[in-house]
Amino acid sequence: MAVDEIKSIKQRYGIVGTSPLIDRAIDVARQVARTDITVLILGESGVGKEVFPRMIHDMSARKHEKYIAVNCGAIPEGTTDSELFGHVKGSFTGAHEDRQGYFETANKGTIFLDEVAELPLATQARLLRVLESGEFYKVGSSKVQTTDVRVIAATNVNFSEQIQKGKFRNDLYYRLNTVPIYIPPLRERKEDIYPIFRKYASDFAEKNRIPTVILTPEARTLLESYRWEGNVRQLKNVSEQISIMERDREISAETLKKYLPAVTQSTMPTVYNNNGQGGTGEFSERELLYKILFDMKRDISELRQTLNNIICQNDTDNVPPPHISSGIQQYEHNLPALSTDPFESGHHHFDEPAKQSEPVVAYNNTKDIPPQQAEVVEDEELSIANAEKLLIKKALVKYQGNRKQAAKELGISERTLYRKISEYELE
């Protein structure tokens, strides 16, 4: 029953795709629509967050009342309170008459606050009171107004960062985030990319009475592997650009590349947290360190083979001196235990961090080894912190101190990079 209902909702609102993530988002919206609970829509820019508030309203008991969508980021500075809560005549210059705000106009209905994180702090305090008691004051009035409005909010910013910076109220966040609905980006629903492209290309062709473009298998592979920073909005623009600009209706991978901006973000594997959002904090950082350690493990194996060849090339028994073998074993022992493939699963376990071991010294103490073959092999520093510090230095040099680009290259958040720079005194 639920599957059929989700399919019907997709057809009604033009949602294309079979990804379990998008189906889950629709199912949550379907369930919360029956209540008056506050909903927070989360997702990157361009994923189609604006469809879900309308969907929730249409399936709710308020569907016959007003639905008002407000772009909080587009309201002129200084007029936010007046737009949302209204004002009385003479309350400020230009207030020639009383005016109803959106909360008064949408009484008994639903109000969608898009980009809610853009609201000024003073307005956030007023919004919190409306959510808690349904009461508000018009600008310039001391008379309490009441409203019965279902609030749905949306944002594409990181609330945790906004709260830490003092730009968003912690209590308002928890009041809005009663039920979160996460809309996945296209890179998390790759199976839906080609069907969405085909739909937009077909709709555009039908509207403009031109043949529909089709993709070669190579072009389709490229389309599905692209990161799509702008998500559905960007995919739609690309499909329309190609439909207009290309005379040949069969689009090759080389042709498609001309319409895809170069991706600057690192292609290092990303770990996703439980709510489905891409992790650029401690999880991605852990993957980075794990990769470094795995490379070290491989280098040690190569070092063991090289040392054996050097030491044993003139040894009739082909057995290295005991202190050489034990030194290499101690070197390997100090590395964290690693699996054969560091990315074979989403969970990795580390032993204690590598400790500095004693240098492995090959003494010229046998007559079988010529003096010129005496080697002193210094143990490379295997500290995770030093390896991480070196990578950060290289990234900062590569991008000439641009921390945002360096963070993308390293696959960590900019906030984590700032913390590491301070920790390692790289200012």
Q: Where are the domains of the chain?
A: 2-184, 189-257, 282-385
Which pLDDT score, from 0 to 100, does residue 345 have? 42
pLDDT, one tens digit per residue, over 372-414 is 444 444 444 456 777 788 888 888 888 888 888 888 888 888 8
Question: What is the C-alpha separation between 312 and 306, in angstroms, rounded?
Answer: 10
Phi-psi region at 14: left, alpha or beta (left = phi > 0; alpha = psi -120 to 50): left
Which pLDDT score, from 0 to 100, does residue 325 have? 53
pLDDT, one tens digit per residue, over 333-345 is 555 554 444 444 4
Which pLDDT score, from 0 to 100, does residue 374 have? 41
- CATH class of domain segment(s) 2-184: alpha beta
Looking at the DSSP bridge assignments, the partners of residue 154 are: 41
Please count the CA atoms within 13 angstroms of the CA of 201 that sit on its side-chain side. 22
Which pLDDT score, from 0 to 100, does residue 90 have? 87
- 167 token code pair: 């730009």
Q: What 3-state class would DSSP assign to 376?
A: strand
Q: Are 116 and 176 in contact (CB under 8 A)?
A: yes
Report the CATH number of the 189-257 domain. 1.10.8.60
First vs last Cα of the chain: how many Å apart? Answer: 59
Q: Which residues of the chain have pLDDT under 70?
A: 1, 263-291, 293-295, 297, 305-383, 427
Question: What is the C-alpha separation between 332 and 291, in angstroms, rounded?
Answer: 16
- The b-or-e profile of 375-402 (16+ CB within 10 A means b, else e) is eebebeebebeebbbebbeebbeebeee
Give the 3-state secondary structure percentages of the chain, helix then strand then coil, rounded to 5. 50, 10, 40
Cα angle 56-272-4, degrees, rounded to a multiple of 5: 35
- 127 token code pair: 């919004």
CA dihedral 331, 332, 335, 340 (to 10 degrees): 160
Q: Are 200 and 239 in contact (CB under 8 A)?
A: yes
Q: Are 69 and 50 in contact (CB under 8 A)?
A: yes
Q: Are 102 and 108 in contact (CB under 8 A)?
A: no
- Strand 67-71 with 179-182, pairing: unpaired
Which pLDDT score, from 0 to 100, does residue 392 have? 85
Residue 48, C-beta contacts closer than 8 angstroms, at least 6 positions apart: 15, 183, 231, 232
